[in-house]
Amino acid sequence: MHSPQALIATKRDRRTHSSEEIRDLVRGLVDGSIKDYQASSWLMAAYLNGLDSAETTELTLAMADSGERLDLSGLPKPWVDKHSTGGVGDKVTLVALPLMAACGITAVKMSGRGLGITGGTIDKLESIPGFRTDLSPSELVAQANQFGIALTGQSPNLAPADKILYGLRDATATVDCVPLIVSSILSKKIAGGAETVVLDVKCGSGAFMRDLGAARNLAAWLKDIGTRAGLNLRILITDMDQPLGSAIGNSLEVLEALSVLRGDVKSSVGRLAIKLVALALEASGTEASLEAAEARCVLAIQSGGALTKAREWLTAQGADPAFVDQAESKLPLGPVVRKVFIHSSGYLARADAGALGQLVVDLGGGRAHKEDLIDHGVGIQIHVAVGDEITDNEHCATVFAKTEEEADEAAQRVLASLYVTATPTEARPLVIEVL
C-alpha cells in the first residue's frame, strides 16, 4: 500500500503513477486513510503536472470499481447512457430518456444538480411535485426492467471515490483539469452499467468549455479514455453561444421538454434529442444507418410513444399520473410575469447564453454554492433566436420572478444580453461536430 505522501510526491515530481498507485489512491479516498487535505494536495499536483492517458484510464476504472456497479445483465439490450457537460437551457435529458425507451433502448441514468449557470437535470425533475430522485440501485434496475427507463441522483454507493474528488475539486480550484473531468464523467457511466454512451460536449458562452479548441480537446480525451475503458462512445460538440431552446429555469424547462415530446420535433431541443438518440441507436446496432435511426426517433415522438414513456417514467418515480397532461397547472411558476419588448429593428446577432444563465441564477433559479436552495418557478423564456429578423417593439422574452422589482431588473438584463445588428447574422450550427 502506497502512503498518501508517496502518492503526492509522485505527481509533485512529474512522475507517472503505476496502476497499483492509482488503485491505492482510490482505496484510500473511500476508506478514509487519505485525508481531505492530502487528497487536495494530490489534486493540485495532478492539475499542475497532468495525468497521461494510461493514468486517466486507470483512475476512471478504479473510481467505477470504488463502490457498487449496477448489474443490468437481466435487462433488454441495448443499455445506453447519455451525458451533457452542461449548458444554459439544456433540458435534453428529459426528452432523450423517454425517446430512448420508446425506441427499445434501456436507459438507466445517474444525474446531478446544477451549479452556476449550467442547470442540473435533478433540479428540473424536482420541480415536479412528488418526483423521487433517490432511487436505490435495486429500484433503478427494477424500474428499468418494467419501463425501460430510470433516473436517480448520484448514489453514495455508485462511484463514491468520484463524489469525494468532485467535492474537493471545487474547493481547490482544480475543476477545469481535463483528465479529472473525463474520469469523473466516465467512471459514473461505467458504474451505471452502460455499454454505449452518447456524450454532448457544449461549447460557447453558456458552457464550461467556452471555445471550440477546448471543447475539441475534451471530446478527444473522452473518446480516447472511454474507448480504453471499454465503452462504445458517440460524442457531439454542440453550440452553447445561445441558450438551448426557449426556456431557462427549472419548471419552464420541464414544460418545454413536454412540448417536444408532444410533437415539436423541429425545435432545437427536439432536433438535438433526436440526433443523440439516433446516434445511440446506430452505435448499438439497433439501426443500420443514422438516417433510419433519426426517422425512427421522429416517428416515436409523432406517434405519441415517447410521451407515453415519459408518463410511465414520471409516474413510476412519484409524479401524479395526470401530471403530463396537466403540467401547466401543477408546476410552480414565479408569481410575477413580465413581458419584455425589444426596441430595435434588424437581425438578432447574439443571445448571450452566459449572461442569461447568470440572470436565472440571480433570480433564484440556480446555485452560486452547492448548499444553496433554489426556486423552481423562476426563469425566463426567450422568444427570439440568433438570425431572426427583429421588429421594433417585438415581444422578445417573458420573465417569471418572485417580486416586481426583480422582474423589472431582469427585463433590463434580458435586453442587455440581446444584440441586434442591421445586417443578417447566421447562427452557428446546433451540432458543430460528431466524433
Asked if 66 is an active-site residue, the reply is: no
Distance of CA 364 to the CA centre of its chain: 20
Catalytic residue chosen out of the listed positions 163, 169, 275, 413: 169
Percentages (nearest 5) of helix, strand, coil residues in the chain: 50, 20, 35
The closest of 120, 91, 111, 163 to 366, measured between CA atoms, is 120
Between CA 365 and CA 132 the distance in angstroms is: 20
Angle at 103 between CA 136 and CA 315, to 5 degrees: 40
Catalytic residue chosen out of the listed positions 123, 162, 241, 352: 162
Asked if 338 is an active-site residue, the reply is: no
- CA 338, 334, 273, 123 dihedral sign is positive
Catalytic residue chosen out of the listed positions 83, 109, 113, 330: 83
C-alpha radius of gyration, the chain, whole number:
22
Helix, strand, or coil here: 223?
helix
Between CA 86 and CA 216 the distance in angstroms is: 15
Asked if 329 is an active-site residue, the reply is: no
Between CA 241 and CA 203 the distance in angstroms is: 7
39, 78, 87, 97 from 103: Cα distances, Å: 43, 10, 26, 10
DSSP string of 10-37, one letter each residue: HHHTTPPPPHHHHHHHHHHHHHSSS-HH
Catalytic residue chosen out of the listed positions 109, 188, 309, 367: 188
Asked if 184 is an active-site residue, the reply is: yes
Between CA 307 and CA 258 the distance in angstroms is: 8
Nine cell digits for residue 294: 433519426
Asked if 83 is an active-site residue, the reply is: yes
Catalytic residues, which ones? 83, 162, 169, 184, 188
